[in-house]
Structure 1
């Protein structure tokens, strides 16, 4: 149990004597099952412990939170790096009805995008776009489930920037691939729960070498945010054994489009040349 969670438990223990009977039931459940409570709505938590939804909301207020969702989000932040895949699978009971899986997953993805829109910092986004144009070289690092995001970003930035390198976890060591990183370079690190230790260590190394670091992650309390000069956040919450990468991919799409629009003429020329190559070598089936 980490220190932050201990602080939350201490707060609950401190106020426990003056809680109502119903609120004590909530306090006991959260203390013993915080991993499950983090993904329960106020209504579901109330049903689980046998109290009303309003009692759950008042409990959150008593803890100092402006509504139950704030308490729920803190619980989610605290547990998401601690849960094993097996534990997350156990928490996926709401997704066990196959006929409801499609709607539940799509709705969760929509919620993640909606939250990302509300939380994104437009000024930081613009600074990241500027840093891409200012960089001598761009390194993109994303491991494990973030590998797909890194490769996607790298594919499109390679069409715009002359010197983009996607760092992989292949035969060559990560540090070997980044050995020449320096003060004029930009490193874009992508990391979502469960955060990759190798990604964090590599970003610390590049920061020590003087490179500018941009983090793409799920929140400002992510380990990557403490390393990055600029942090772009996208929600990835999904109470299953998989992570939702829909909002992160949408954020990366926006980044690519913003960069591309600034170099519209050059990109048009690049794609004109590529179209001729694709047509000559039958890369695609049929013509637009």
Structure 2
């Protein structure tokens, strides 16, 4: 789009140049705006905005905006889905029901797509790795934390690399990765470049890569030795985390089932957290008798 505008720039009127400058400065915003909103924002008429699109050899503004969206398809997909949903009225209860139906469909498709051999190899990779690193950013960082929580009792050396320090901390840790280590990389639309780069870094260091992602076309898939896929379509968001969470729990459960001495590990975990569990082994409460009002006044006078 920038090249097309540059080619036509000498022929554009001052008003059209004004629109062009704004579009080049705010391409993502322009890709989401209907023609009347763009015209009002730039301070021109709707007709001028339409003529601007035709000056760039488009049939009209709709075609211009469609071409602009192409550069941001992945980024704008949730915006366009939300816009489409909001154009149709719905009761709150309908939104609840629709979302839960989407989750059910995602879970069913995720279950159908699971390959038994890949599941077996994924669990074996987790259990046999010298060290397991987990990386994911954005909402995937929370899912990574839950995976670490599930794996930690059953094998040592499980490191979550999503911290406040961000990707630089993960890169620093992964610089020590070696053959025999495993990186579990989690990424769903909208895929974050940091996760993809770190997966490549781990692979180049000789570590194995297990990807938790949504499809074969994911940028993580070609970097992974193994991949588990979760259907994550959402009507309102870039992706739905519910089916991904189920996949994370399924992987951790399979590791717990296959790990040696898993019962002993679960017992040690239960014993270690026992003092912090309400109503389960907490010390008995000691009742303290309060002084009578008269005695309390006497004590108050006695205290300087």
Which band: TM-score by shorter chain? 0.5 to 0.7
Distance of 2:115 and 2:72 partners within structure 1: 25
Partner secondary structure for residue 241 of structure 1? coil
Partner secondary structure for residue 76 of structure 2? coil
Partner residue in 1 for 2:189 = 193
Distance of 1:203 and 1:215 partners within structure 2: 9
- The reply to whether residue 91 of structure 1 matches residue 91 of structure 2 is no
Partner residue in 2 for 1:181 = 177
- The reply to whether residue 270 of structure 1 matches residue 265 of structure 2 is yes
Kindly tell me: are residues 95 and 192 of structure 1, through their superposed partners in 2, closer, same or farther at Cα, counting changes over 3 Å?
A: farther
Distance of 2:280 and 2:273 partners within structure 1: 10
Kindly tell me: are residues 165 and 114 of structure 1, through their superposed partners in 2, closer, same or farther at Cα, counting changes over 3 Å?
A: same
2:118 corresponds to which of 101, 121, 124: 124
1:258 corresponds to which of 234, 254, 259: 254
Partner residue in 2 for 1:113 = 107
- The reply to whether residue 284 of structure 1 matches residue 280 of structure 2 is no
CA RMSD across the alignment: 2.3
Task: Say whether the 8 Å CA contact 1:80–1:193 is kept in structure 2.
Answer: no
- The reply to whether residue 241 of structure 1 matches residue 234 of structure 2 is no
Kindly tell me: are residues 192 and 244 of structure 1, through their superposed partners in 2, closer, same or farther at Cα, counting changes over 3 Å?
A: same
Using the TM superposition, give the Cα deviation of residue 148 of structure 1 relative to its aligned residue in structure 2, in angstroms: 1.2
Task: Say whether the 8 Å CA contact 2:153–2:269 is kept in structure 1.
Answer: no
Partner secondary structure for residue 83 of structure 1? helix
Kindly tell me: are residues 236 and 80 of structure 1, through their superposed partners in 2, closer, same or farther at Cα, counting changes over 3 Å?
A: farther
Task: Say whether the 8 Å CA contact 2:190–2:239 is kept in structure 1.
Answer: no
Count of equivalent residues: 209
Task: Say whether the 8 Å CA contact 1:236–1:243 is kept in structure 2.
Answer: yes
Distance of 2:215 and 2:78 partners within structure 1: 20
Partner residue in 2 for 1:152 = 146
Using the TM superposition, give the Cα deviation of residue 243 of structure 1 relative to its aligned residue in structure 2, in angstroms: 2.4
Partner secondary structure for residue 158 of structure 1? helix
Task: Say whether the 8 Å CA contact 1:91–1:239 is kept in structure 2.
Answer: no
Task: Say whether the 8 Å CA contact 1:80–1:194 is kept in structure 2.
Answer: no
Distance of 1:263 and 1:98 partners within structure 2: 44
CA deviation string 1:114-140 (max 9, x = no partner): 111111111111111111122100001
Question: Which is further off, 186-195 or 249-258?
Answer: 249-258
Distance of 1:255 and 1:225 partners within structure 2: 18
Distance of 1:95 and 1:193 partners within structure 2: 26
Distance of 1:204 and 1:95 partners within structure 2: 45
Using the TM superposition, give the Cα deviation of residue 84 of structure 1 relative to its aligned residue in structure 2, in angstroms: 5.6
Kindly tell me: are residues 255 and 146 of structure 1, through their superposed partners in 2, closer, same or farther at Cα, counting changes over 3 Å?
A: same
Question: Could you say which structure has the larger radius of gyration?
Answer: 2
Partner residue in 1 for 2:292 = none
Partner residue in 2 for 1:166 = 160
Kindly tell me: are residues 221 and 148 of structure 1, through their superposed partners in 2, closer, same or farther at Cα, counting changes over 3 Å?
A: same
